[in-house]
């Protein structure tokens, strides 16, 4: 018989881990027997289950076990991970283990090692001398890298759902539809942001990243985002050529994509403003230079420069210009984005499917995520990316960010 014991621990019923385990076995046409089951008697008690998982043959059993591991099951008397050296640069050994975005441990030489830089759809490379392991994307794998294969010796730790009542992120992956009151949500997000900023000010760690699209400027949200940066709530800005160009266009010409920000009407000839803006920055040499030369005197990009907030402007095939600060190589841009995001406590994604999904692909599951878009399909797509503490808000982004800043100002007044 091809069978193996697995164990599940924690709040496995209300975190849906046990139901998912049963579903997985059922779906893969495996079988199981419950060997032990110890349900938490009170709501604070964890539960425990020991199952015997049964497969049709060894590879069938292995496949089931692999899936069960990804939802958090442990395989007791665990063996070491198996590793294989890559034979060529960028080419993975057969049977490589593809990561989730959850914190993951591997057992190597009898010891549990936490894998660094968690990320989805990557592989785990082990450095035996340093007793270290980290995720690598396929293209960074070098000949000779020791890549984890199979499923032995791996333990995935999906974040537990917060059990505190009243928590913003108590609903896993909840979505706030267009037909919900937004003020309450904004208040909770503001509160969370306030705490993160305070912690960042004390420790210099964590902080908030903003991922944004040009609709922030089109919808009149630029002044609010600029103020958010000035107030110290943004520790990194991930965007593209369009957000930066239209922000500076709105500062230099009062328009966004040629539409007057004050009146909402197209200005004749305004469709050239973004090209003029890019040419102005080209002359200055960079956004930083433009700020220092006094060419750019306010706005989102200005505040980033003035407040030393790092920004990553990732290139796209839609770009006009692009600005000299844009990174045209998408692989280089991904690397910079990942660097900027890895240590953050929260990411706020606004009005950009491209940059938001790209960021979601690069980040660990424990970073809190807020997705804002007027299109509910976009929000749903973003919420499906596997972050565990995410909230989606379907609303007008220009209004959202304006109300968010007002709430933060009110909060600061009260808490002084």
In the window 17-36, what residues touch a copy of itself (CB under 8 A)?
Answer: 18-19, 22-29, 31-34
CB 56 within 8 A of CB 41: no
| Radius of gyration of the chain measured on its C-alpha atoms | 24
* Cβ proximity to a copy of itself, 1 vs 317, nearer residue: 317
* Cβ proximity to a copy of itself, 31 vs 82, nearer residue: 31
Site for a copy of itself in 55-94 (CB under 8 A): 63, 66-67, 90-92
Site for a copy of itself in 275-334 (CB under 8 A): 275, 278-279, 282-283, 314-322, 324, 328-334
Which two three-digit tokens encode residue 95?
């049977």
* Cβ proximity to a copy of itself, 271 vs 297, nearer residue: 271
Residue 268 in contact with a copy of itself, rule: CB under 8 A = yes
Site for a copy of itself in 170-209 (CB under 8 A): 176, 178-185
Q: Cα–Cα distance between 251 and 389 in angstroms, integer?
A: 36
- What is the 3-class SS of 177-246, one letter each residue? CCCCCHHHHHHHHHHHHHHHHHHHHHHCCCCEEEEECCHHHHCCCHHHHHHHHHCCCCCEEEEEHHHHHH
Minimum CB–partner distance for residue 204 and a copy of itself (Å): 28
Which of 98, 191, 286, 289 contacts a copy of itself by CB under 8 A? 98
Residue 167 in contact with a copy of itself, rule: CB under 8 A = no
Minimum CB–partner distance for residue 131 and a copy of itself (Å): 27
Site for a copy of itself in 216-235 (CB under 8 A): 218-220
- Closest to 281 in 3D by CA, of 326, 230, 335: 326
Instruction: State the residue for tokens 């290139």.
Output: 315
Stretch that binds a copy of itself, among 109-117, 225-233, 260-268, 287-295 (CB under 8 A): 260-268
* Cβ proximity to a copy of itself, 66 vs 199, nearer residue: 66
* Cβ proximity to a copy of itself, 134 vs 170, nearer residue: 170
Q: Cα–Cα distance between 340 and 413 in angstroms, integer?
A: 30
Q: What is the DSSP letter of 26?
A: H
CB 84 within 8 A of CB 170: no
* Cβ proximity to a copy of itself, 200 vs 212, nearer residue: 212
Residue 13 in contact with a copy of itself, rule: CB under 8 A = yes
* Cβ proximity to a copy of itself, 52 vs 157, nearer residue: 52
Count of residues interacting with a copy of itself (CB under 8 A)? 103
Q: What is the DSSP letter of 349?
A: E
CB 103 within 8 A of CB 366: yes
Minimum CB–partner distance for residue 367 and a copy of itself (Å): 18
Q: Cα–Cα distance between 53 and 13 in angstroms, integer?
A: 18
* Cβ proximity to a copy of itself, 200 vs 327, nearer residue: 327
Looking only at the bridges linking them, the beta strands covering 104-108 and 111-114 are antiparallel
Residue 96's SS3 state is strand
Which of 3, 78, 138, 295 contacts a copy of itself by CB under 8 A? 138
* Cβ proximity to a copy of itself, 25 vs 200, nearer residue: 25
Residue 10 in contact with a copy of itself, rule: CB under 8 A = no
Which two three-digit tokens encode residue 302?
């200005």
* Cβ proximity to a copy of itself, 122 vs 133, nearer residue: 122
Looking only at the bridges linking them, the beta strands covering 390-394 and 174-176 are parallel
Minimum CB–partner distance for residue 201 and a copy of itself (Å): 28
Site string for a copy of itself, 348-377 (x = CB under 8 A): ------xx-xx--x------------xxxx
Site for a copy of itself in 111-130 (CB under 8 A): 121
CB atoms within 10 A of CB 383: 19
Site string for a copy of itself, 394-413 (x = CB under 8 A): xxx-xx---x----------
Ramachandran area for residue 13 (φ above 0: left; ψ -120 to 50: alpha; else beta): alpha
CA of 381: how far to CAs of 24, 103, 146, 168, in Å?
A: 23, 23, 34, 20
């Amino acid at each position: 018989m091809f069978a193996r014991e697995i164990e599940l621990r924690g709040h496995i019923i209300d975190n849906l881990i046990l139901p998912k385990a049963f579903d997985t076995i059922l779906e893969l046409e495996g079988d199981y027997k419950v060997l032990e089951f110890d349900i938490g008697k009170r709501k604070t008690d964890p539960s425990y289950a020991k199952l015997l998982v049964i497969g049709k043959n060894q590879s069938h059993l292995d496949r089931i076990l692999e899936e069960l591991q990804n939802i958090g099951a442990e395989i007791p008397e665990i063996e070491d991970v198996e590793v294989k050296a890559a034979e060529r640069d960028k080419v993975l050994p057969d049977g490589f283990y593809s990561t989730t975005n959850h914190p993951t441990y591997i057992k190597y030489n009898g010891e549990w090692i936490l894998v660094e830089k968690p990320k989805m759809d990557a592989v785990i490379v082990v450095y035996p001398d340093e007793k270290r392991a980290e995720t690598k994307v396929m293209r960074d794998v070098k000949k000779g890298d020791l890549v984890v294969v199979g499923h032995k010796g791996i333990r995935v730790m999906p974040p537990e759902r917060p059990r505190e009542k009243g928590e913003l992120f108590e609903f896993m992956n909840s979505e706030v539809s267009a037909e919900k009151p937004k003020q309450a949500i904004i208040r909770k997000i503001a509160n969370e942001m306030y705490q993160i900023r305070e912690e960042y000010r004390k420790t210099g760690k964590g902080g908030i990243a903003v991922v944004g699209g040009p609709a922030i400027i089109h919808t009149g949200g630029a002044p609010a985002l600029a103020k958010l940066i000035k107030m110290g709530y943004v520790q990194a800005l991930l965007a593209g050529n369009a957000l930066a160009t239209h922000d500076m266009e709105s500062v230099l010409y009062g328009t966004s994509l040629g539409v007057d920000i004050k009146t909402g009407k197209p200005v004749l000839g305004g469709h050239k403003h973004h090209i003029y803006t890019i040419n102005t920055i080209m002359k200055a040499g960079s956004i930083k230079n433009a700020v220092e030369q006094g060419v750019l005197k306010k706005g989102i990009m200005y505040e980033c420069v003035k407040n030393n907030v790092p920004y990553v402007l990732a290139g796209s095939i839609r770009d006009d210009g692009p600005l000299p600060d844009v990174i045209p190589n998408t692989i280089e841009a991904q690397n910079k984005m990942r660097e900027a995001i890895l240590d953050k406590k929260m990411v706020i994604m606004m009005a950009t499917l491209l940059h938001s999904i790209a960021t979601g692909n690069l980040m660990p599951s424990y970073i809190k995520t807020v997705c804002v878009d007027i299109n509910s399909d976009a929000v749903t797509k973003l919420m499906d990316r596997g972050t565990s503490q995410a909230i989606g808000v379907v609303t007008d982004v220009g209004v959202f960010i304006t109300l968010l800043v007002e709430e933060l100002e009110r909060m600061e007044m009260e808490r002084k």
